[in-house]
Chain A
Amino acid sequence: MRTTETNEAGLIARILAGEKELFHELIRPYERMVYLTLFSIVKNETEAEDGAQETVISAYRHLASFRGDAKFSTWLVTIAINEGRKRLRKAKTAAEESIEEKVGEHEGGYSPAPLTDWREIPLEALERKELREALRAAVAELPDIYRQVFALRDLEELNVEETAQALGINTGAVKVRLHRARMMLQKRLVPYLKTTAPARKLFFGRAL
């Protein structure tokens, strides 16, 4: 970790001093993160790729304004989020926005799927591939505020503080939204996981 940051600081200094082509190396470890951040916001492959390119170009142009007090990855993901939101604002109608606000952040709990639900699902032998598709679909269907936190934390593996900083929310909100996102996904995916999960606990190996 420390080495990465030192190397990065060195790279950044060299780029700013004129070795511009080194920006390719600086950005390479974060290409995936940038794309996934955009995708989690715009939910469209073409838009996400265009936005990812804009993000990287913007980071290149504004590299001199990067301050070493934040991590480069956090700075970059913040640019990606802003780019995604800009694109979303363009694409979205006012009507859609108001529907979304109704989901809100009320303090109602999201409970996971209880065991009884599992028994109502027909037992199909699902391939891993189908499980992946189901997960992608379930993530896409999460309300925006939950999907974005989930993407940064569990997909891109930023920590709670970095996620809070990038989204401009407090760490408490990150934890609450993450918890709800995970519980919503658990609820949606339980029928798929049931037939494909490894038998770590006795439950999974037992015939119902």
Chain B
Amino acid sequence: MKLDCKHVWEHISEYIDNTVDAKLREDIERHLEHCEICSAILDSTRNILILTADDRTFELPVGYSKRLHERLKEEIEN
């Protein structure tokens, strides 16, 4: 089956998560080979996910862990 771009977009998330079935995966990959638009969308979405998972993007407040364990220590000891 020949996919149009819109169809590919609908499955981008599942494609990234590797939860599309083998046939659809193959169709999407065939489409990506010749479609720069969808390839760019896929790449940019992947980059966002890589950046999201990077610990430096969403940082914890300085001293968070220390304060948490101090509070817990108080709770345990009392």
Are A52 and B47 in touch, CB under 8 angstroms? no
Residue contact A155 to B58, C-beta cutoff 8 Å: yes
A164 interface residue per 8 A CB criterion: no
Q: Which residues, 1 to 49 on A, are CB-close (under 8 Å) to B?
A: 20-21, 23-24, 27, 31-32, 35-36, 39, 45, 49
Interface size of B by CB at 8 A reads: 40
When chains A and B are docked, how far (Å) is the Cα of A71 from the Cα of B39? 37
Complex partner residue of A190 from B10, B44, B49, B69, CB under 8 angstroms: B44
CA distance A85 to B40 in the complex (A): 37
Docked CA distance A31–B69 (Å): 10
Q: Is the CB of B72 within 8 A of A131?
A: no
A112 pairs with B76, CB closer than 8 A: no
Q: Would A32 and B43 count as touching, CB distance under 8 A?
A: no
Closest to B32 in A: A201
Contact mask for chain B residues 10-54; partner A; CB cutoff 8 A; 1 contact, 0 none = 101110110100000000000000001101110111011101111
Residues of B at under 8 Å CB distance from A?
Answer: 6, 9-10, 12-14, 16-17, 19, 36-37, 39-41, 43-45, 47-49, 51-58, 60-61, 64-65, 67-69, 71-73, 75-76
A-B pairs with beta carbons under 8 Å apart, 22 shown: A23-B76, A24-B69, A24-B73, A35-B60, A35-B61, A52-B68, A61-B75, A112-B12, A131-B51, A139-B52, A150-B52, A155-B52, A179-B12, A182-B45, A185-B48, A186-B41, A186-B48, A190-B44, A193-B48, A197-B43, A201-B40, A203-B43
